Amino acid sequence: MKIIAINASPTMKNGMTSALMENVLEGAKEAGAEVEVIYSQKLKINYCIGCFNCWVKTPGVCVHKDDMVSLLEKIKEADCIMVCTPLYADGMTAQMKTVIDRMIPLIDPHIENVDGHNRHVKRLKKIPAIALLSVCGFYEKDNFDGLVDHMKRICKNFQAEYLGAVLRPFSYLLNLENLMPEEVKKVRSAAKQAGIELVKNRGFSEETLEAVAHNPIPKDFFNQSANDLWDASIKNGKFLHS
Ligand SMILES: Cc1cc2nc3c(=O)[nH]c(=O)nc-3n(C[C@H](O)[C@H](O)[C@H](O)COP(=O)(O)O)c2cc1C
């Protein structure tokens, strides 16, 4: 399986999205996948301007001559896109949405009926399957519900296979190796297992996803510790990786 992981976290390698992604990709590579990581923050990708030139004037080709041109070529070659985004305001980052909007040259404007619903026709024989990876600051896993629903709808829109989502609430647990080494190790090895399952099974087991999302401390303690961290960060005028 050829995987292109598109990481649209503005904090790039300092962020928890990257930390989780690296563990998943380690497993995917071990299971035989060919993996490429793209940090969208490093690229120049303009917003879609809605001109539809990529559908009517130059079919399949966007008016913008920016870094999306080469990214689209990589996407076309991939079997799987791993959409790696932190949760921002209950959704994906603007950077990720910008990349996804710019993927419309991959589809054809004509409409067909698929399972009783209007969809655009695929321009390519093969649209890569999509797996989601996300982290968020809050404690509860249901914070991802809106993002997961959006991702599933995007897959239907592009007629791409949805392979599932690796989700980690309380993202900064991944940064607490000194305080909770065993707990962090369990989450990281579950993330690696998710990468193995992605390649071997084209999806994730519930057990593995639960282990990735597992919160090893009660919510009250999390809330208290998070508030203490914010107080200390405000005092120092500095957050973890800023
Ligand atoms: C602009 C912004 C919006 C955010 N919105 C949410 C949110 O709606 N729910 C949540 O649980 N966390 C939210 N967070 C927290 C991030 O998901 C969390 O800090 C995550 O670790 C960021 O990813 P990174 O570590 O890769 O930078 C938000 C953070 C930022 C900066």
Indicate if ligand 1 lies below 6 Å from the C-beta of 86.
yes
Kindly report the CA angle at 240 between 239 and 242, in degrees rounded to 5? 60
CA dihedral 93, 99, 103, 109 (to 10 degrees): 60
Q: What residue ranges do the domains of the chain occupy?
A: 2-216
Give the pLDDT confidence score for residue 165 in this predicted structure.
98
β-pair partners for 35:
3
* pLDDT of the residue at 79: 98
Cα separation of the two ends of the chain: 36
Indicate if ligand 1 lies below 6 Å from the C-beta of 143: yes
Q: Which amino acid is at 137?
A: G
Could you tell me the pTM of the whole model?
0.98
Length of the chain equals: 242
Residue 38, token pair as written in the block: 């793209």
Atom of ligand 1 nearest to the CA of 9: 26
Give the C-alpha distances (Å, rounded to integers) separating 55 from 16, 94, 114, 142, 167.
37, 23, 20, 37, 34
Do 2 and 78 touch, CB atoms closer than 8 A? yes
Task: Compute the distance from residue 137 Cα to the ligand 1 centre, in Å.
Answer: 5
The response to whether residue 138 sits with its C-beta less than 6 Å from ligand 1 reads yes
CA dihedral sign, ordered 96, 27, 1, 207: negative
Q: Which pLDDT score is estimated for 125?
A: 86
| pLDDT for residue 25 | 98
- C-alpha of residue 72 to centroid of ligand 1, in Å: 27
pLDDT at 147: 98
- Find the helix or strand (DSSP H, E) in which 126 lies: none
- The per-residue pLDDT for 139 is 98
- DSSP character for 48? P
- Is 2-216 assigned to CATH 3.40.50.360? yes
Q: Which residues of the chain have pLDDT under 70?
A: none
pLDDT at 241: 74
